[in-house]
Structure 1
C-alpha cells in the first residue's frame, strides 16, 4: 500500500516536473490538410502566438490525409507534436475502416480554436442561380452532378454529406487534398458543388470566380450581404457548425495538455487575432479540454452515423 502510494506520488510529481519545463524543444503543429486551407491559416497564427509565449520554436507542418493524423496518434508523447484539425476528424474512423489508430480514444482533446460559417458554392456560370434551382437540378438527374470537398471526412465533406442527406439528392463525390484544390475544381467546372469558408474562398466569391448560393448561420455574413442563409434560401433544417481544434496523442501527460490549453486560451484571447479572423468570417474562441472532448465525442456520434449511411449507400 505504502509502496504503491509512493509510486503514484512520484508519477504525479514527475508529470508536474515535465509540465513545468514544457516545452524544452521545438514543437510541431501538424495540419492534415494542404497549405492555404483555413486550418493551415489558423495553425500558423496560433504557432506564432505560442512561439512568443513559450520562447521556443513552433512550426507548422502540412501532412494531408490519414498519414498526417496517424503521425500524431503514433508520434511523440512529450507534447512536441500536436495537431490542429477540423471537425471532420470526428468521422475519419467511419470513412476509413482500416485505420491503425482510433480517432477518438488515441487522442487527447486540448481546445477548440474557432468556428466559421460554411458557404455553398458552384461554378460562376452554373445554370442554377439559387439553392432551390440547384436542388431541383440534382433531383431531376440523380448522379449527374458532382461535389468536391477538402477530403473524405473533412469539415466541408461532412457539410456536403449533410446537405445530400437533408435534400435527398444523389451526387458523385470528388475528394481533394484541401480547400484550395476543391475550389479550383469548382472554378474550372470540373465539379458542380462544394462547401468552403470565407477565409479561403471569400475573395474568389467577391470577385465572381465562384458563385455562393447559401451560407450557414442565423444571419447573413457581413462580408457577403447578398448571399442568403440556408433558412432564407428555403432549407432551414440545414444547420452545421464547422469547428477547428487542437489535439495531442492520448499518451501526452495531462499536465502538458492542460498547459497547452491554458496558453492557447491566452493566445486566442488576443483582440488583434480575434479581429483578424472576424474579418475572414471566423469566430475565434477556446474551450477547456473536457468541453472539447465532449464536443468531439458528440460529433463522432451525430455525424458518424450520417457519413456511415452515405458510405454504405443507404443515403444514395
Structure 2
C-alpha cells in the first residue's frame, strides 16, 4: 500500500506543476488529426473523459482532436484496434484498468497482449467504488457490516449488482461478500445506471459501482443510501461516508484508473511528446472540474509510472480473480 500512496503523491504533484511541461507541449503540435479511441459508447464516463481531453488537446498537440467509439466485448474491440494503427502519435487509446489488469485472468484467450500491444503514456483519472443499498434493505441498516449481517439473515434477498461481470466493482462486491460470509448473489448489468434503477425499484438489495454513478441516486433526491467506499481514504466526493477499512473490512481497498496508451512500438520521442501534452491538458481547470462532476479525479503520470502501476495491479488482481473463481463465457 505504501508504494501506491507514493505513486499517488508523485502523480498529484505532477498535476500541480503544469508549467514544467508547457514548453514541450507547445512543441508537440506535430499532427493534423488526433483520434482518441474508447471502447465504450457516447455519453458514458469513458467517452466523456475522452471528449474533455480532446477539447484540451485541440489546438495544442493537434489541429483537430476527435473521439472514436469502438464499442464491443467489454472494451476489448478498442484495444484490439490499436494493433493495426501506426504508432506515430496520431491515435491514442483511453481504457479503464480492468481490460489490462483483470481481463487476462477471466478470459481464456484475449485477442491482445496488454503489455506488448500497447505503449503506456499517462494516467488520465482515478476513482473509487462504493456500496449503495435501496428500499429492499431496512433503513436501520446504516453500515456495510450491518448490511452483510442482514443479507446473511435474509438469503432470499442477498444480492448485489455491478456494471458488468468481471469488472472491478464485481470483484469488490465478491470480496465484501466473502469477508462478511454473506454469500451475496451477483447480478451483472450493462452499466451502473441500469443497476441503480433496479435498486431503486427494490429488485436488488445493493449495487457495487463507481462513486460518481452512485451519488446522484443517494441523499434526499434518491432512494439509495451509500454505506461505504472502497478507497484507502474517504472520497472527497462523499467525505461523510466511511471506507470499508474503517468499518472493519480490512484489506478491501480497491480503486480504478483510466489511462492513455499509444500502440505498441511507439518511440520514446513520440511518447514524450504525447505525455507532455496530456499532462498539461489534464491540469487545465476546465478538465479537472469537468471530471469532478462525474466523481473522477484528474491525474497524470509519467509513462514509467503508468507501466509500474499496471504491473502492480495485474499482480494484485490475479490471486483475487482466482479466489473468486469467475471466468467469462
Q: TM-score, normalised by structure 2?
A: 0.77
Question: Larger deviation: 128-137 or 216-225?
Answer: 216-225
Indicate how the Cα distance of structure 1 residues 301 and 220 shifts in structure 2: closer, same or farther if over 3 A, else same: closer
How many angstroms apart in 2 are the aligned matches of 1:275 and 1:122? 28
Residue-pair matches, total? 294
What's the counterpart of residue 201 of structure 1? 214
Question: Larger deviation: 286-295 or 275-284?
Answer: 275-284
Indicate how the Cα distance of structure 1 residues 148 and 232 shifts in structure 2: closer, same or farther if over 3 A, else same: same
Uncovered stretches (5+) of structure 1, i.e. residues with no partner: 1-18
Give the superposition deviation at 1:123.
2.0
Please, which of 63, 70, 75 is the counterpart of residue 84 of structure 2? 75
How many angstroms apart in 2 are the aligned matches of 1:51 and 1:253? 22
Give the superposition deviation at 1:221.
4.0
What's the counterpart of residue 4 of structure 1? none
How many angstroms apart in 2 are the aligned matches of 1:143 and 1:73? 45
Contact 1:110 1:288 (8 Å CA) reproduced: yes
Indicate how the Cα distance of structure 1 residues 29 and 180 shifts in structure 2: closer, same or farther if over 3 A, else same: farther
Indicate how the Cα distance of structure 1 residues 59 and 85 shifts in structure 2: closer, same or farther if over 3 A, else same: same
Q: TM-score, normalised by structure 1?
A: 0.80
What's the counterpart of residue 40 of structure 1? 47
How many angstroms apart in 1 are the aligned matches of 2:70 and 2:197? 19
Contact 1:34 1:177 (8 Å CA) reproduced: no
What's the counterpart of residue 59 of structure 1? 67
Uncovered stretches (5+) of structure 2, i.e. residues with no partner: 1-26
Indicate how the Cα distance of structure 1 residues 302 and 165 shifts in structure 2: closer, same or farther if over 3 A, else same: farther
How many angstroms apart in 2 are the aligned matches of 1:29 and 1:39? 11
What's the counterpart of residue 166 of structure 2? 153
1:163-202 correspondence to structure 2 within 5 Å: 163-202=176-215
Q: CA RMSD in A?
A: 2.8
